[in-house]
């Protein structure tokens, strides 16, 4: 393990004014996105869509791109490897390495993420293909009372620790992603309680497995109300509770925190990030690692038509710029200036 190289990459991933594009949708997930815009999910259409993003001006606001196994092996229409397009834009290629979730037999309604088998070999291959960081997502369901169970929290934290250690052994920076889902009618206090418990267990496992904290990135959910909660927390409360939770759980050695959007609207994800970065000096960089919150608008604008490529690129560049401003705590001021 080259810790100096890992730390350099991790710091570059949270460069102020930049964030991470999560373009790692599985074939099944991107089919759902394409179905919504009435585009057939063929390999070429998936390639064309992602090439559109990687060639856009919005890439100047992106530090790294999380790719799917298919995408990291694809070439652009002119034969250039997509990885090379990302590198030419000044960004770091990364790769999703988990293999999805499976039900936990003893815990109805809960899952564990799989993919550790042969992961060391796959990481060697991905490094050769250009990946310098990886992502593993643990999915934690939540309700008002009994979920998540201690079992679900532990097994997912343990898997995250094993994954992170394997990544660092392969000189790949691990993005550690424990996502407490927004689904449900729980309030913000319940989200705070569960997320804090999950992060405590995750960092316990990372220490047990000797993961170098200065060579990783954390990708957590924000502390928000459940989607179906009748009382939605205000932006300021989300920011304050999320930062409080981070201060209680995340060691200062971690270079940065790149939030997932988790089903928030585009603007909510931006507003929450901006509010957090306006709370004052923090021991870590706070930025974004968004999928839908960066891509919903460009997908609609593009709609699978080559003639719409410039419109799709403009939509992506706008969303990337808005979140880049939020990563500096400058989004609200920029909106006020534009409105004046």
DSSP 184: S
Q: Where are the alpha helices (DSSP H) in the chain?
A: 3-13, 27-36, 43-54, 69-72, 82-88, 119-129, 150-169, 188-208, 235-249, 266-277, 292-302, 309-326, 331-339
What does the block give as tokens for 180? Answer: 């407490």
**CA 120 → CA 43, 129, 168, 257, distances in Å?**
27, 14, 10, 25
Q: Which residues fall within 8 angstroms of residue 289, CB to CB, at 6 or more apart?
A: 19, 20, 21, 22, 66, 175, 219, 258, 259, 260
Span 13-25, mean pLDDT? 97
CB of 114 closer than 8 Å to CB of 104: no
What does the block give as tokens for 170? Answer: 């392969």
Domains located in the chain, CATH noted: 3-339 (3.20.20.70)
Question: What integer pLDDT is reported at residue 143 of this predicted model?
Answer: 86
Please tell me the pTM assigned to this model. 0.95
| Residue indicated by tokens 């409080």 | 244
Span 68-86, mean pLDDT? 97
CB of 19 closer than 8 Å to CB of 63: yes
- The pLDDT tens digits for 221-244 are 999 999 999 999 999 999 999 999
Question: What integer pLDDT is reported at residue 283 of this predicted model?
Answer: 95
As annotated, the active-site residues are 177, 219
Span 303-322, mean pLDDT? 97
């Amino acid at each position: 393990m080259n810790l100096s190289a890992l730390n350099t990459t991790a710091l570059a991933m949270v460069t102020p004014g930049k964030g991470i594009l999560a373009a790692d949708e599985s074939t099944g997930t991107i089919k759902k996105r394409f179905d919504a815009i009435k585009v057939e999910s063929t390999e070429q259409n998936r390639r064309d869509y992602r090439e559109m993003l990687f060639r856009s001006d919005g890439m100047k606001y992106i530090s790294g791109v999380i790719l799917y196994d298919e995408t990291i092996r694809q070439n652009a229409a002119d034969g250039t490897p997509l990885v090379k397009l990302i590198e030419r834009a000044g960004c770091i290629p990364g790769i999703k390495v988990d293999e999805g979730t499976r039900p936990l037999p003893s815990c109805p309604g809960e899952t564990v993420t799989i993919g550790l088998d042969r992961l060391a070999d796959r990481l060697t291959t991905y490094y050769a293909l250009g990946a310098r960081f990886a992502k593993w997502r643990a999915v934690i369901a939540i309700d008002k009372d009994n979920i998540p169970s201690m079992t679900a929290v532990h097994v997912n934290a343990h898997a995250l620790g094993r994954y992170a250690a394997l990544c660092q052994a392969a000189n790949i920076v691990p993005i550690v992603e424990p996502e407490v889902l927004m689904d449900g009618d729980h309030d913000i206090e319940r989200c705070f309680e569960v997320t804090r418990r999950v992060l405590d267990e995750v960092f316990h496992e990372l220490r047990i497995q000797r993961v170098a904290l200065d060579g990783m990135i954390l990708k957590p959910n924000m502390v928000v109300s459940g989607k179906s909660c009748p009382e939605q927390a205000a932006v300021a409360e989300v920011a304050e509770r999320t930062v409080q939770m981070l201060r209680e759980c995340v060691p200062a050695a971690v270079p940065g925190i790149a939030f997932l959007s988790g089903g928030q609207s585009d603007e909510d994800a931006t507003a929450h990030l901006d509010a957090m970065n306006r709370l004052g000096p923090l021991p870590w960089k706070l930025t974004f690692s968004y999928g839908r919150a960066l891509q919903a608008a460009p997908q609609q604008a593009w709609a699978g038509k080559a003639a719409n490529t410039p419109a799709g690129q403009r939509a992506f560049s706008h969303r990337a710029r808005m979140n880049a401003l939020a990563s500096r705590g400058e989004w609200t001021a920029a909106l006020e200036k534009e409105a004046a």
